[in-house]
Structure 1
Amino acid sequence: MAIITEEEEEETKKTLAPPVKDKESSKSKPQSENPFPFWFYFTLVVSFATVLFVSLSVFSSHNDPRSWFLSLPPALRQHYSDGRTIKVQVNPDESPIEVFVAESGSIHSENVIVIHGLGLSSYAFRGVIQSLGSKGIHALAIDLPGNGFSDKSILVRGGDRDIGMVARFKEVYGLIQEKGVFWAFDHMVETGDLPYEEIIKLQNSKRTSLKAIELGSEETTRVLGQVIDTLSLAPVHLVLHDSALGLASNWVSENSANVRSVTLIDSSVSPALPLWVLKVPVIREILLGFSFGFQKLVSFRCSKELTLSQIEAHRILLKGRNGREAVVASLKNLNHSFDIAQWGNSDVINGIPMQVIWSREGSKEWSDEGHRVAKALPKAKFVTHSGSRWPQESKSGELAEYIADFVSLLPRSIRQVVEEPIPEKVQKLLEDAKASGDHQHVHAGYTDAYGLGEERTT
């Protein structure tokens, strides 16, 4: 039997016990706090990323108007070539925009202006205005801002709006180009802080972004008034389709003296095309990205007789150049509580001749809506057409026939002629010539000043 002594037990404990570390050696050594390597590599990474994103964006022609126009079908390009654009000022604090106008017929006849509803354009009424032109009427169709070939967005400068990642990389890259790669690092070495406020201030002051045009009744009033004044169209016969009634009703009320008649074609507070679906992610990409989805939507709600090429043209115009964003933004500005009876029976509107043209091929609910509108406007002439809520090219002659017959029954319009003031120098020459009795000199001086030739024009 082995006997263990105390000395052997103490030696065993020392052997099994873990070695005790020195307190000073157990402390971790402090790491270097030099920020230079971090900011150096961070600046290189950001510079490389921004150059890459900017290079990719240069080769992208998605938002290039010229590339978009060249990709259009021949029918759309022909429609654009047959019209013209007019500069208008929608809001005083914004840049002017271009509004597209298609027209047909002699300018010396009655002026009929067709205004489409949201989601459509003047392209839908090209057959109507051509047919009206052949009947001796000067017909025009306007693309409201945000629709068709009119501008759909405006360039906004400055501000702290939320922008995309690519746009932010462009801003950083531009700031690096202007200030230098090590500008922020040098500022940090001198002051100990990064110049966040200065960076944000510089970015906001130089930031430019495209903002979708939001069209409402006030904006439509300004656009319509400027187009009519620019082309000297007053007085006019208005043809309002779909949701255009709610957009143009204010202008009619404020300018009733310049309105000869109003024709409503399948007018409603809400557009025929359910624009709310274009707000939903994924669904909007499917509907506007593929012809099949948009065709089903149009056939279900707007028209079952449009050809595939016509539906494709509407889809392209609605999708291109931020069209979807502009139409969706304008949808929220519609007055869904608009009371057509109160508007039509007001003192300023009551004396304007009206006609209601309604589809008889729609659903029972839509037919009932037509009778409700006719009841709200008891003085209006009510007729039905064989087309759908969206006009078809095959029914253009029928719609034009109703409009032309209605306009022909009214007294001929008297154009408002505004005399151009004679400059003071020319007026003095006229007075001197009149005093001297030199009539030949009077005529020659007036002609030279204005370049009017033998006949005076307005």
Structure 2
Amino acid sequence: MAADPAAAAAAQVPAREPPPPLSIVSALPFWFYLTAAVSLLALLLPHLLSPHAPPPLPPLLRRHLSAGRLLKLHPGPDLFALTSLPASTPAHHPHPVLVLPGLAAGSFSFRRLLSSLSSRGLLAAAIDLPGQGLSPPPPPPPRTNPLREILDRGIFHAFEHLVETGEVPFQDEPAPGASHSFHSPAEAAAAAARAVDALGLGPVHLVIHDSALAAGAALVSANPAAVLSVTLIDATATLPAFPSAVLGVPVLGRLVLSVPALFRGLMRLCCVRGMDAQEADAHRAAMRGEGKRDAVFEAGKAMNQSFDLREWRTSSEEVKSLPMMVLWSGSWSDKWIDEGKKVIAALPGTKFVYHYGGRWPQVDACEEISKLISEFVALLTTADKSTEAHNDHPVS
């Protein structure tokens, strides 16, 4: 019987041997080049993201800097302030409006609001809290020296500390007794009070924005006679609009401040609905100065997470009787609306108004916020004059 031709042809073809397993020696070049590439990137990226010479300030920020003034305070830190005078002298002289901007916002974001308030006959001013906006960053707290720690405690102290606590010692931590921070609400409030005296503003209608709530509350508590009313603009002591924690991530923090599109996207995601490229670039430049990124990050860490709004409102008769208004974004998110309901629940008897802006309404709802503040101040001014007239002419 004849054999099948196809089977005979297949029998003549030798079987293919399986490939030999990949040896460790042959994989070494791949891992070597990968490690070298990652190491080179880690060395070059910080230099690429941090230019040796600081870039020039954008025109918008330069104009804002020239319009304001740096207050040399003693004791420090120095603070930047912007004042907008009314175009014409009003018949009645209402007390000035003072704005404390929130984290990373700065007086630059309030420049149009101040101008709008002054066009309505009000003297308006904004003060950049320590390290924020155009205020110079305070000196960093002293750090522990790892070499000095080793010489003082011995080389085996690190291992013993790691076994006992599970933490690595000899990190850059504040030295013992160096808990003093200019970013704390009490210190920021004290610096703001000195700035008010330097500006000669006298009793003010205080406007507190975003994360400046705890510092503004401390300012009111320490100087109740210097504050005539309080307006809160999307103010919270625990949920700042700008995510300062991003700046603390070594590579990501530099990247956010180095790439304009990335920074602008972050602002639109967390702070405002719309911000043009020039304004976003000015905000970015304000945080790219020497020590400013760390200052914003440290200010975020120094926020008083235990601040209780209801407890502060009832802390004294002066604070309890203080006229107060809350302006809150009614279209940012359902979660933010719920947060506003918590705020108004902690402040019974307070005027509450929803606005159409974002969490930085001084940028995207400037005229609406200006109108609400000026009407609130005018109402209080009219009430004060009625009281004075009644006291001057008592009913017999």
- The two structures have a TM-score, normalised by structure 2, of 0.69
Task: Count residues with an aligned counterpart.
Answer: 294
CA contact (8 A) 1:103 1:140 kept: yes
Aligned match of 1:411 in 360, 363, 381?
A: 381
> What is the DSSP-based 3-state SS (H/G/I as helix, E as strand, rest coil) of the residue aligned with 2:102?
coil
Q: CA deviation at 1:214?
A: 4.1
1:373 to 339, 343, 364: 343
Q: 1:222 aligned to 2:207?
A: no
Residue equivalent to 1:89:
74
Residue matched to 1:261: 229
| Equivalent position of 2:109 in the other structure | 124
For 1:98, the aligned partner's letter is: D
After superposition, what is the alpha-carbon deviation per residue over 1:98-151, rounded to whole angstroms, capped at 9, x for unaligned?
311111124954210011111111000001100000111000011112012111
Letter in 2 for 1:105: L
1:24-49 per-position Cα deviation (integer Å, ceiling 9, x unaligned): xxxxxxxxxxxxxxxxxxxxxxxxxx
Quick one: distance in 1 between partners of 2:363 and 2:267? 15
Structure 1 SS opposite 2:126: strand
1:393 shift after superposition: 3.7
Aligned residue among 261, 272, 275 for 2:241 = 272
Q: Which residue of 2 aligns with 1:36?
A: none
Q: Which segment drifts farther, 112-121 or 295-304? A: 295-304
User: TM-score scaled by structure 1?
Assistant: 0.60
Give per-residue Cα distances to partners, 1:84-107, cap 9 Å, x unaligned: 1211135xxxxx443111111249
Q: Tell me by how many angstroms 1:261 deviates.
A: 0.2
Q: How far apart are the structure 2 equivalents of 1:162 and 1:327?
A: 24
Superposed CA offset, 1:311-339 (max 9, x none):
22111111222111111122222111111
Deviation for aligned residue 1:161: 6.0
Aligned residues of 1:88 and 1:99 also touching (Cα < 8 A): yes
Sort the Cα spacing of 1:100 and 1:213 in 2 relative to 1 into closer, same or farther, 3 A: farther
Cα pair 1:146 1:153 within 8 Å, conserved: yes
Determine the C-alpha separation between the residues in 1 that align with 2:265 and 2:68.
30
Partner of 1:383: 353
Measured against aligned partners, the alpha-carbon deviations of 1:323-382 in whole angstroms (never above 9, x if no partner) come to: 111111222221111111111233231110000000112110001111111111111110
CA–CA distance in structure 2, aligned partners of residues 82 and 228 of structure 1:
17
Structure 2 unmatched ranges of 5 or more: 1-50, 147-179, 386-396
Question: Which structure 1 residue ranges, 5 or more long, are not aligned?
Answer: 1-59, 91-95, 164-211, 415-458
**Highest relative contact order (Cα 8 Å, sep 6+), 1 or 2?**
2
Q: Which has the larger radius of gyration?
A: 1
Q: Which position in structure 2 is the counterpart of 1:134? A: 119
SS in 1 for 2:302: coil
Distance 2:232 2:95 in 1: 18
Q: CA deviation at 1:160?
A: 7.6
Query: Partners in 2 of 1:242 and 1:372 — Cα distance?
Result: 15
Matches within 5 A, 1:59-208: 62=53, 71-90=56-75, 96-106=76-86, 109-154=94-139
Q: Distance in 2 between matches of 1:77 and 1:86?
A: 17
What fraction of aligned residue pairs are identical, expressed as a percent?
A: 38
Q: Which residue of 2 aligns with 1:235?
A: 203
CA contact (8 A) 1:145 1:213 kept: no
Task: Compare 238-247 and 225-234 and name the one that shifted more.
Answer: 225-234
Measure, in 1, the Cα distance between the counterparts of 2:58 and 2:293.
Answer: 19
Q: Which residue of 2 aligns with 1:336?
A: 305
SS in 1 for 2:354: strand
What displacement does 1:162 show? 5.5
Q: Tell me, in whole angstroms, the C-alpha distance in 2 between the residues paired with 1:217 and 1:62.
A: 33
Structure 2: which amino acid aligns with 1:81? S
Q: 2:216 aligns with which of 248, 267, 273?
A: 248
Which segment is superposed worse, 353-362 or 297-306? Answer: 297-306
Does the 8 Å CA contact 2:207/2:230 hold for their aligned counterparts?
Answer: yes
The letter for the 2-side match of 1:324 is R
Q: Distance in 2 between matches of 1:283 and 1:248?
A: 31
Specify the alignment match of 2:283 in structure 1: 314
Change in Cα spacing, 1:398 to 1:279, as seen in structure 2 (3 Å) is same
